[in-house]
Amino acid sequence: MSKRELRKYLKELTKVQLEEQLIDLYERFKPVKEYYDFAFNPKENELIELCRFQISKEYYPVGSRKAKMRRSVAQKWIKKLILLDAEASLLADVMLFNIEIALAFSGEHIIRQESFFTSIYKSFDETLRFVSEKGILAEFKGRIEKIAGDTWDQQWPNRNAFEDLADMYLQ
């Protein structure tokens, strides 16, 4: 069904029928419920804390489990924040936190997977692009410089790429 067909269909419904359909969607689909719950009661700080906790659990799990270091977990939470239309600076904070926690972990552990470094670089690139597009780059300049410096200090194989990217955006 195209948007045009959907609009035509919705115009034919009465207000009561439309309300019933929205309530049905709200009850049936978790993403719809989350969207409306967030739209009418945006507890952004609680959601940000949950995101930070879930991301940190990937590197520092509760209990004696082994760290999984999955970038996909952070990406899932970031995507959720984007869908909920969270404030840009809060979203950028979570994006940078994801990179910072990975750096903290790599400072304490030897990481041999090249894909780890490539993945974190991709996250860094996406973060810099996001903060630049939203016009909040200056707000996060210190953290961005620290990330680039930490990759250099920890001798990451792609540390030059991190530094070049940071320089490109911060010039």
**53-69, pLDDT tens digit by residue?**
999 999 999 877 888 88
CB 92 within 8 A of CB 136: yes
Q: How many domains does the chain have?
A: 2
Do 14 and 62 lie in one domain? The reply is no
Do 157 and 138 lie in one domain? The reply is yes
Return the residue matching tokens 């953290």. 143
pLDDT digits (tens, 9 = 90+) for 94-108: 999 999 999 999 999
Do 91 and 165 lie in one domain? The reply is yes
Collapse the DSSP code of 143 into the 3-class scheme (helix H, G, I; strand E, B; otherwise coil) and give the result.
helix
Domain residues for 142? 42-170
Do 49 and 30 lie in one domain? The reply is no
Global confidence as pTM: 0.80
Do 31 and 50 lie in one domain? The reply is no
81/145 Cα distance (integer angstroms):
24
Ranges of the chain with pLDDT below 70: none
Do 33 and 46 lie in one domain? The reply is no
Do 28 and 76 lie in one domain? The reply is no
Angle between helices 71-83 and 44-59 (to 10 degrees): 170
